[in-house]
Amino acid sequence: MNLTLQPNDISEVVEADRAHLWHHLIQHRQFETIDPRIMVEGRGMHVWDATGKRYLDAVSGGVWTVNVGYGRESIADAVRDQLVRLNYFANSAGSIPGSQFAEKLIEVMPGMSRVYYSNSGSEANEKVFKMVRQISHRHHGGRKSKILYRERDYHGTTITTLSAGGQPQRAAHYGPYTPGFVEVPHCLEYRSQYGEIDNYEEKAADAIEEVILREGPDTIGAICLEPITAGGGVITPPEGYWERVQEICAKYDILIHIDEVVCGVGRTGEWFGYQHYGIKPDFVTMAKGVASGYAAISCTVTTEAVFEMFKDDAADPMSYFRDISTFGGCTAGPAAALENMRIIRDEDLLANTTAMGDRLLHNLHELQEKHPVIGDVRGKGLFCGAELVSDRGSKEPVDEKLVQAVVANCMEQGVIIGATNRSLPGFNNTLCLSPALIATNDDIDRITETIDSALGQVFA
Ligand SMILES: Cc1ncc(COP(=O)(O)O)c(C=O)c1O
């Protein structure tokens, strides 16, 4: 396969990009002296850029998205077949793939019942916030309108999801923010806020209760949490944490909203991250891996009990969820999501994710023995992180520039890895790995061998 474009084609694309494109999450001054990177093709675990260079992608499209890998013709066929039949109708009516995917999704989410379609993770989360507010108005006389979120978690890019975000660098300069969102402390034991203690999981959960009591339980309607914090540092919760969080929420009648935008649809070796921890959510939101990036789709999934609260009085024109997402009616999303799910089942990708995730963690722990700069290794399934520190004793984070130098060195070597960025000032020091769920032993070993070499060079 020759994926190299002709020199003229490349320079035209690069110049058009340089002249007109505003890339996401990147400082553009650098493009005055270097070319922006342009990706042109993908197959399986690999992508090629416009210069023809091939990369092993250890971050599934940069942001944990292409779960079933690149170049899936069966998804493209399913989308095409659906588009020529019916591309769109507003979701006030149903569609064939919309109904079919909702049914399949609920089959793997015992206890959940209703699926609301929209386009992005941020939007899916905003739907929950609106639902919680409407429940407050209709069922609690305006009380229970506040929503808790956790330090280091991220829930999206809109002003309100930033208001519910625990990553100050993402939110800075975009205020004023939406009121009614209250932060609770993170649960990263490696960075314990309580010193070295035996019951960190209890302390971290009890810290949530302290916030609830401070604010007043009757002011709080819901808590929004990532099952495993992603961009805030790949934080796997300490064992026992979730049980206690659930007890606290039950005690104060607080609804649980799990943000599965990253963990959802196989990433951690279960269909959903919360399923590792026995959580019984009231809301689950998902986006990225739902259709592996073959079409834009997000889902806000609720229990039947939540759904019931929106049809209590059919005679009242205000008594239903008065919300629409125009592109929530695009049929490409659920068509792609159905085929994506079939692939995960038929290729046994949940089992592969567990096996390859174990290998990845094992390899990272070996690297930790070799490289003192790796302070902590965390992860579940094909969702892992390695936190870099300049001193293991003091846990001083390494300079962000060095973290980025490791990422750049891997890129040079033809392996794309990620790192936490613009998240917490001074703590953007965790390398992130989230290869597609189809990764093989060889892919995993190549990823960690490349990191081994990069760490050796950057911290020589
Ligand atoms: C946990 C989490 N929630 C929500 C979002 C927002 O998703 P989107 O970018 O699709 O709006 C992200 C994006 O990275 C995320 O990591």
3-state secondary structure of 15: helix
Cα 171 off chain centre by:
17
Q: Is 330 in the same domain as 436? A: no
Work out how many domains the chain is built from and give that number. 2
Confidence category of residue 1, pLDDT binned at 50, 70, 90: very low
What is the residue whose two structure tokens read 């094992």? 362
Domain presence at residue 326: yes
Which structural domain range is residue 339 located in? Answer: 74-346
pLDDT at 206 over 80: yes
Phi, psi of 341 (to 5 degrees): -70, -40
With a 6 Å cutoff on the Cβ, whether 261 touches ligand 1 is: yes
CA angle, corner 27, sides to 25 and 30, nearest 5?
A: 140
Same domain, 27 and 92: no
Task: Mark whether 342 and 354 lie in a shared domain.
Answer: no
pLDDT of residue 343: 99
Looking at the structure, tell me whether residues 214 and 263 fall in a common domain: yes
Give residue-wise pLDDT tens across range 254-266.
999 999 999 999 9
Q: Are residues 307 and 183 in the same domain?
A: yes
Ligand 1 centroid – CA 441 distance (Å): 29
Q: Give the mean pLDDT of 29-54.
A: 95
CB of residue 245 inside a 6 A radius of ligand 1 = no
pLDDT band of 10, cuts 50, 70, 90: confident
Write the CATH number for 451: 3.90.1150.10
Q: Which of 322, 346, 370 is the last residue of a domain?
A: 346
Quick one: average pLDDT of 436-443? Answer: 98
pTM over 0.95: yes
The CATH number for 209's domain is 3.40.640.10
Q: Which of 312, 346, 380 is the last residue of a domain?
A: 346
Mean pLDDT calculated for residue range 363-374: 98
Strand-pairing partners, residue 42, are 47
DSSP 8-class letter at 257? E
Same domain, 301 and 369: no
Could you list the beta-strand ranges (E) of 255-312. Answer: 255-259, 283-286, 298-302
> What tokens were used for 458?
């950057």
**Pairwise CA distance, residues 208 & 167, whole Å:** 18
5 Cβ closer than 6 Å to some ligand 1 atom: no
Residues 124 and 148 in one domain: yes
Say if residue 235 is in the same domain as residue 366. no
Residue 404 has pLDDT above 80, yes or no: yes
Atom of ligand 1 nearest to the CA of 120: 10
Starting at the edge strand that comes first in sequence, how are the strands of the sheet with 39-43 ordered? 39-43, 46-49, 54-57, 415-416
- In tens, the pLDDT along 264-278 reads 999 999 999 999 999
Residue range 136-151: mean pLDDT, rounded: 98
Ligand 1 pocket check for 121: Cβ under 6 Å:
yes
Check whether residue 286 and residue 369 sit in a common domain.
no
pLDDT > 90: percent of the chain: 97
Instruction: Report yes or no: 443 and 352 within 8 Å, Cβ to Cβ.
Output: no
Ligand 1 centroid, distance to 121 Cα (angstroms):
5
Please tell me the predicted confidence (pLDDT) of residue 58.
Answer: 98
97 and 190 part of one domain: yes
Q: Whose C-alpha lies nearest to ligand 1, atom 8?
A: 121
The kind and range of the H/E element at 171 are helix 168-171
Residue 202: pLDDT over 60: yes
Indicate if ligand 1 lies below 6 Å from the C-beta of 66: no
At residue 8 the predicted structure's pLDDT band, cuts being 50, 70 and 90, is low
- Out of 303, 328, 346, pick the residue that ends a domain: 346
Check whether residue 195 and residue 336 sit in a common domain. yes
Residue whose tokens read 């209703």: 114
Q: Which one of 154, 298, 434 would you pick to mutate in the ligand 1 pocket, going by the greatest count of ligand atoms within 8 A of its CB? A: 154
User: What is the predicted pLDDT for the residue at 197?
Assistant: 97
- Closest ligand 1 atom, residue 125 Cα: 4
Decide if 1 is inside a domain. Answer: no
The band of 312, judged by pLDDT with boundaries at 50, 70 and 90, is confident
Question: DSSP string spanning 402-457?
Answer: HHHHHHHHHHHTTEE-EE--SSSTT---EEEE---TT--HHHHHHHHHHHHHHHHH
Residue 157 CA, ligand 1 centroid: distance in Å: 7
255, 249 contact by CB (below 8 A): yes
2 assigned to some structural domain = no
Alpha-carbon gap, residue 291 to 369, rounded angstroms = 37
State whether 258 and 360 are in the same domain.
no
